[in-house]
């Protein structure tokens, strides 16, 4: 068993990104990223702080626009449109979840697809499934970089994804298909889940239930990617995979923390850089 060190890979990629960013700044373009944070959700505050820190380290023009939880949908859409039109910003990210009175889909549709660094706009989702992606959701994009770094050959492999969200499960399936894996998406209604996951050469788990996947779900020698971020009774961060058990049977596995998380933020920055770079040729 070997551990996939997402933290080390993220640091390596961020060093490369800093070099590329410095060159772009010399050409007169500073990658600009605005994160719009609605309300005071504590988990969102932590994520946004981490994004801001990395963006600043890379030399980006980084802005966090904090707005009251009571903001009207119309006013939030106005703010997004303001950044759509502002050429200083190449990436716009609205931190989810949003308060109940705001329609998430309407918000995602309002973001300019060229600036949608989260990759959630339906146009970007469509381009991804078409095999011609512009912006890709950061977590699946980061997982693909891990496969590359650790020389995981995906061609013809059985890949099973546990979870069907638009953020991880579905885009992950599209990316694995592009690399010629045979893909199965499972979810809460899947019958005999254990029988399905036991067939997986590559198992990607994103269901949001702490320590749900134990060793008896996993084929010997499988590559296991744990996207889960849960708190146990003691407040400790744990994944969806029971690491101690599953690491005994997996050939490669990501830890939590230090696995997928750092890569998610890195890919977000990479896409902001790419969006800024594209403006040279526009």
Is the Cβ–Cβ distance between 142 and 6 less than 8 Å? yes
The closest alpha carbon to 34, from 134, 117, 133, belongs to: 117
The full set of domains in the chain, from first to last, is: 28-112 (3.40.50.10860), 138-261 (3.40.50.720)
Cβ(79)–Cβ(107) under 8 Å?
Answer: no
Q: Using alpha carbons only, give the angle 130, 133, 139 rounded to the nearest 5 degrees.
A: 115
> Could you tell me which residues are annotated as the binding site for NADP(+)?
163-165
Candidates 118, 201, 226, 240; catalytic one: 118
Note if 118 is an active site residue.
Answer: yes
- Average pLDDT over the chain reads 96
Looking at the predicted structure, is the pLDDT value of residue 88 above 70?
A: yes
The confidence score (pLDDT) of residue 145 equals 98
Contact 151, 177 (CB under 8 A): no
178 given a catalytic annotation: no
Between 97 and 168, name the one with better pLDDT: 168
Going by the DSSP 8-state scheme, the letter that residue 250 receives in this structure is -
The predicted pLDDT at position 44 comes to 86
Angle at 225 between CA 220 and CA 229, to 5 degrees: 130
Q: For residue 1, what pLDDT band results from cuts at 50, 70 and 90?
A: confident
pLDDT given for residue 235 in this prediction:
85
For residue 47, what pLDDT is reported? 86
Which of the following is catalytic: 95, 157, 170, 201?
95
Question: Any bridge partners for residue 38, and if so which?
Answer: 67
Catalytic position from the list 51, 115, 157, 170: 51
**196: enclosing H helix or E strand:** helix 193-197
Region 40-46: mean pLDDT is 84
């Amino acid at each position: 068993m070997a551990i996939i060190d997402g933290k080390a890979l993220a640091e390596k990629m961020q060093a490369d990104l800093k070099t590329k960013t410095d060159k772009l700044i010399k050409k007169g373009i500073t990658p600009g990223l605005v994160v719009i944070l609605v309300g005071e959700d504590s988990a969102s505050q932590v994520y946004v702080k981490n994004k801001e820190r990395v963006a600043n380290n890379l030399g980006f023009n980084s802005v966090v626009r904090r707005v009251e939880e009571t903001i009207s949908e119309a006013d939030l859409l106005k703010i997004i449109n303001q950044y759509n039109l502002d050429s200083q910003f190449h990436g716009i990210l609205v931190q989810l979840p949003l308060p109940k009175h705001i329609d998430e889909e309407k918000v995602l549709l309002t973001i300019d697809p060229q600036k949608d660094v989260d990759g959630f706009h339906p146009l970007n989702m469509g381009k991804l499934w078409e095999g011609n992606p512009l912006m890709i959701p950061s977590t699946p994009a980061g997982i693909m970089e891990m496969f590359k770094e650790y020389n995981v050959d995906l061609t013809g492999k059985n890949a099973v994804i546990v979870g069907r969200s638009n953020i991880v499960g579905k885009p992950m399936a599209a990316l694995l298909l592009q690399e010629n894996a045979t893909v199965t998406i499972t979810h809460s209604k899947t019958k005999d889940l254990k029988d399905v996951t036991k067939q997986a050469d590559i198992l990607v788990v994103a269901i949001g239930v702490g320590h749900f996947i134990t060793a008896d779900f996993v084929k010997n020698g499988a590559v296991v990617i744990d996207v889960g971020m849960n708190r146990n009774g003691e407040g400790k961060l744990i994944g969806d995979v029971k690491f101690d058990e599953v690491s005994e049977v997996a050939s490669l596995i990501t830890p939590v923390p230090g696995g997928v998380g750092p890569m998610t933020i890195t890919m977000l920055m990479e896409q902001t850089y790419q969006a800024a770079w594209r403006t040279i040729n526009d």
